[in-house]
Amino acid sequence: MWKDAYAKDLHKRASTMLEALTDDIKQIRLKIEKPAKDIDSLGNVMHALEEIRKKESEIEIQFRPVIEMYNLLDTYLPEVMEKDEMDASSILDKDWG
């Protein structure tokens, strides 16, 4: 019973953290993938790149706990997770890089 409660709580935390990181990556991608048509749009892209450099180590540090939580869940309680969620957690590092 405690195992189920722990797994549900761990899964909830891991899922929330994964969703937040995925959203951050999507927002960053949107900023840097905008076409630079003029000097203002180029300035916006450069500003986004500067923001990425500042956040890069912070986001990479956030990856490790999420990946470790999903590895733990996958190893001991694979029935807790859905395939889409497991796929998203496994490509987290690749998606960022």
**What confidence score (pLDDT) does residue 95 get?**
61
Give which of 39, 93, 38 is closest to 67, Cα–Cα.
Answer: 93
User: What's the confidence (pLDDT) of residue 93?
Assistant: 62
Q: For residue 33, give both structure tokens.
A: 């993938």
Phi and psi at 79, nearest 5°, equal -75, -10
Which residue, among 64, 89, 61, has the nearest Cα to 74 in the 3D structure?
Answer: 89
Mean pLDDT of the chain: 82
pLDDT score, position 16: 92
Q: What is the value of pTM for the model shown?
A: 0.72
Residue 32 is encoded by which pair of tokens?
């840097």
What is the chain's Cα-based Rg?
17
